[in-house]
Amino acid sequence: MTRKRCFQEGSLFKRGTRKKVWVARWWEDVIGQDNRLERIRRSAVLGTVAEIPTAREARQMMSDLLRKVNSGDFRPQAVWTFRRFVEDRWKPDVYPALKFSGKKYYDNMIDTHLMPVFGDMQLRLITKDAAQRFLTAKAEGDLSWKTVKHIRTAFGTILEAAVRDDLLISNPVRKTRMPRRGVVDEKAPIAPEGLKALIEKLAEPSRSIASLLAMTGLRIGELLALRWQDVDLQGGFLSVRQTVYEGHFDEPKTRRSKRRIPLGPRCVEIFAALKPTGAAPAALVFSARNGSPLSRRNLLNRQLKPTCKALGLTGVNWHWFRHAHATLLDSVGAPIGTTQALLGHSSSEITRETYIHSVPADARRVVEGVEKLIGPKWTQVPDWPELANTLIN
């Protein structure tokens, strides 16, 4: 039963000896741990007696503070802690619909970053300033700007759910700003010559993996989840049916990610060389000795990163080869719809704005083409000192 709310004037008193302050106190309705309406005593320091010399001024400030509590549209907030909301309400509602990789993402954000700071704090006490200080401290630490952005996204998503459940009036994280982004290491340019040199330096199985990623545009999880029954060497195509993340198989990222990709002669040659005699149809194309899927992280740290470091390449990971594939498709004139279909994107905007980059050789060629159209020959330009004197005089 909803408790009838009565108008409150609050109580006002002074506190302190050397530095006296005005303190306002009132009752406020909140949603208790058992989801029942409760009434708790709240108080707030209005300011020092030196700053607010008269009781009349202090009472006016208290009246302004209580206006929200006395208004007809006031909604009680929850005394639920952040930890209890996440464990008892948010995870049970959200996790059943998430893939394994999504659960791992949120577990890392929550357990590593959010719980140590906000776990025992009541939801209603998480303010914009507290959230902003938290994000700023994270950015000033050893974390990358992108990681801090992920933390903010996860934090905001959880508190938005609390707003929808009427446990919060508004989401304080949505009002925060991301700290300024620092200098970002430039990614290695996507050029056929550099890509070929990198692949040739890699040891197996990373060499075959990098080659196939660059020539098919598969995600690393899609490639490592391929089974021989998914590869048709005679027909020259492969079918994407699964993805794998840390040994867990799942559905591909989106509905469009389930797709058939044509294979060129070079890809067919690589798959043929990899296929053992009498390979079982359900066997993985890339697997450890015990038949389990390879670890993308181990391959990255033990083979790809050291090779890139030796070649002086920065910003290269397994996903970089997918960007390279999209960029080279654009370089050879592939229609955007074809590129979108091959990559399995849900929209052409993602393909165009995120995955297609400029090939240095193509950029130079088109710039030189523009110069030929509008640029005068250098021998036709007047002598510069003579021209400068003319302009000055």
Tokens of 290: 């015990």
Tell whether 56 and 201 lie within a shared domain: no
What is the reported pLDDT for 259?
92
Q: What is this structure's pTM? A: 0.69
The CATH number linked to 96 is 1.10.150.130
- The answer to whether residue 164 is domain-embedded is yes
Residue whose C-alpha is closest to residue 269's, from 322, 233, 239: 233
Range of 150's domain? 82-175
Give CA–CA dist 367/372, Å, rounded: 9
Boundary of a domain, candidates 42, 76, 110: 76
Contact of 323 with 332, CB cutoff 8 Å: no
Tell whether 19 and 166 lie within a shared domain: no
What is the reported pLDDT for 1?
41
Enumerate the β-bridge partners of residue 47: 22
- The answer to whether residue 218 is domain-embedded is yes
- Helix, strand or coil, per DSSP, at residue 17: coil
- The answer to whether residue 377 is domain-embedded is no
Tokens of 389: 């004197």
Tell whether 204 and 349 lie within a shared domain: yes
Contact of 367 with 337, CB cutoff 8 Å: no
Give CA–CA dist 297/302, Å, rounded: 8
Contact of 316 with 218, CB cutoff 8 Å: no
Boundary of a domain, candidates 26, 48, 76: 76
Tell whether 120 and 247 lie within a shared domain: no
Tell whether 341 and 256 lie within a shared domain: yes
What is the reported pLDDT for 186?
65
Tens digits of pLDDT across the chain (393 residues): 445 556 677 888 888 888 888 888 877 776 666 667 777 777 777 888 888 889 888 888 888 777 777 775 655 555 688 998 999 889 999 999 999 999 999 999 999 999 999 999 988 789 999 999 999 999 998 888 999 999 999 999 999 999 888 778 789 999 999 988 766 666 667 778 888 999 999 999 999 999 999 999 999 999 999 999 999 999 999 999 999 999 999 998 888 899 998 999 999 999 999 999 999 999 999 999 899 999 999 999 999 999 999 999 888 999 999 988 888 888 888 888 888 888 888 787 877 777 766 666 665 665 566 556 565 555 555 565 665 566 565
Number of domains, the chain: 3
What is the reported pLDDT for 109?
96
Tell whether 196 and 164 lie within a shared domain: no
Tokens of 221: 């999880």
Task: Indicate the angle between helix axes 318-331 and 206-216, nearest 10 degrees.
Answer: 40
